[in-house]
Amino acid sequence: MFSDIAPLLIVAVAIILLLGLIMWLKLNTFVSLIITAMVTGIMLGMPLSKIIGTIETGMGSTLGHIALIFGLGAMLGKLLADGGGATRIAHTLINKFGQKRIQWAVVTASFIIGIALFFEVGLVLLIPIVFTIAKESKVSTLYLGIPMTAALSVTHGFLPPHPGPVMIAKEFGAEIGQVLIFGIIVAIPVTIIAGPIFTKFARKIIPEAFTKSGDLASLGKQKSFKIEETPGFAISALTALLPVFIMLVSTVVDLVTGSPENPEGILGFISFIGEAGTAMLISVLFAIYSMGINRGYKVNQVMDTLTNAIYPIGMMLLIIGGGGAFKQILIDGGVGKTVEELFTGSAMSPILLAWIVAAVLRISLGSATVAAISTVGIVMPLLESSDVNLALVVLATGAGSVIASHVNDAGFWMFKEYFGLTMKETFLSWTLLETVISVSGIIFLLFISLFV
């Protein structure tokens, strides 16, 4: 029996080791992650000759996914900030919604942006705007950051065209339209609960975190503007939302045409520019003009802005890569296989089982996408003899895959570094936030299953 759950116990020991290195020995976070990944690989019985290769693969796959987006997103955000666009957007939202409802402005904008963008893209786009709004409103960045990340995370876990829900729906044979409809029905109340409502709770349990201004160094030196010196709201909003529009058009075309595997001609071109990296590059080039040259800045000044955008994110990228290395060690070390064996042959409701399996995999492995995809193979046999609504099983898998993000997830480190939090504060804000999203999501889904 012990050998059956040994990998899960090793995961627990590894997490304790990582926390000890960072919190008690005060070791650099990236170094701590790499040490923990190595020790975990040894404890899981991986051949010593494979451990470094696995760490490199984990770093490469994680940074390969987000480094391009992260770098271009940092440039776009810096251009918006230095060109005055972020200040104009912040002023306009504050004036339209009012100081008391500024959280709702942020959560609404984040939800809309989150539908079209990957979590990481939405985060790097919104961070400079949220920081500017917080500064102008004289509120904590975390006060606005929690609703922002709640909206982005909910859309990432529940709504097509995000890769998780789309891939799961395809594997289960669920109707993508139903997934989208039920996803929106669940996503809106979950975002409200995990955003503005949870923020009130978080302020009581970690009040010191709400006194911090966030890690503005990650955005570089900030310029101050008088409102009359800033560009118009329309051009500022277009610059910020251009990648959203580009990806949204590509997504709509994919849905209408059925997403051919290797599109050619005009469909191939639309699919190409709709890729996150291409859309971000186009948006940066547009921002060079709209926030730079069109504002009277010289080309060398604009290029200095791009350079200054990249310097501060170096350590953050290493930390995120270190989280990816730790995640890969857990995957290659067989932790996912252990979870699969635990749940094989279960007679539980497919909706609840999908959520539990995805949750355990998420906590064990760190990757929401890997957890969701792995859950499909475990739950699939149960669906053959069940009349459960497949769209609800898809959404339950998505809900489980976002639970309790912690040290083996890149999102944990992004949130911690951007908002300048301690490990304890990150657990009590980000990790708890993701858990609220997951638990409230499955509750709503089980309620809906009573009627469909």
Poorest-confidence range of 208-222, 259-273, 385-399? Answer: 208-222
CA distances from 295 to 73, 241, 314 (A): 20, 19, 29
Residue 101 tokens read as 């409802």
Residue 151 tokens read as 């909206």
Chain CA centroid to CA 122, Å = 8
Residue 398 has a pLDDT of 92
* Between 339 and 186, residue with greater pLDDT: 186
Q: Using the structure block, give the residue that is written with the tokens 């350079």.
A: 307
In the predicted model, what is the mean pLDDT of residues 273-297? 90
Residue 110 has a pLDDT of 84
For residue 148, the SS3 value is helix
Residue 198 has a pLDDT of 97
Largest CA distance in the chain: 70
* Between 62 and 206, residue with greater pLDDT: 206
Per residue in 196-226, pLDDT (tens digit) is: 999 999 999 999 999 887 665 555 566 667 7
Residue 45 tokens read as 């019985």
Residue 3 has a pLDDT of 63
Is the pLDDT assigned to residue 33 strictly greater than 70?
yes
Per residue in 431-440, pLDDT (tens digit) is: 999 999 999 9
CA–CA dist 270, 417 (Å, integer)? 35
Instruction: Render 245-259 in DSSP notation, one character per residue.
Output: HHHHHHHHHHHHHT-
Residue 439 has a pLDDT of 97
Per residue in 138-154, pLDDT (tens digit) is: 888 999 999 999 999 99
CB neighbour list of residue 207: distance below 8 Å, 6 or more residues apart = none
CA–CA dist 109, 433 (Å, integer)? 19
DSSP label at residue 83: T
Is the pLDDT assigned to residue 68 strictly greater than 70?
yes
CA–CA dist 333, 339 (Å, integer)? 12
Chain CA centroid to CA 225, Å = 31
Mean of all residue pLDDT scores within the chain: 85
CA–CA dist 163, 179 (Å, integer)? 13
Residue 130 has a pLDDT of 86
Residue 100: pLDDT band (50, 70, 90) is confident
Q: Which contacts (CB < 8 Å, 24+ apart) does range 169-177 have? A: 169/390, 169/391, 169/394, 171/373, 171/376, 171/380, 172/376, 172/380, 172/383, 172/390, 172/393, 172/394, 173/390, 174/390, 174/391, 174/393, 174/394, 175/390, 175/391, 176/255
Work out the percent of the chain whose per-residue pLDDT is above 70. 92
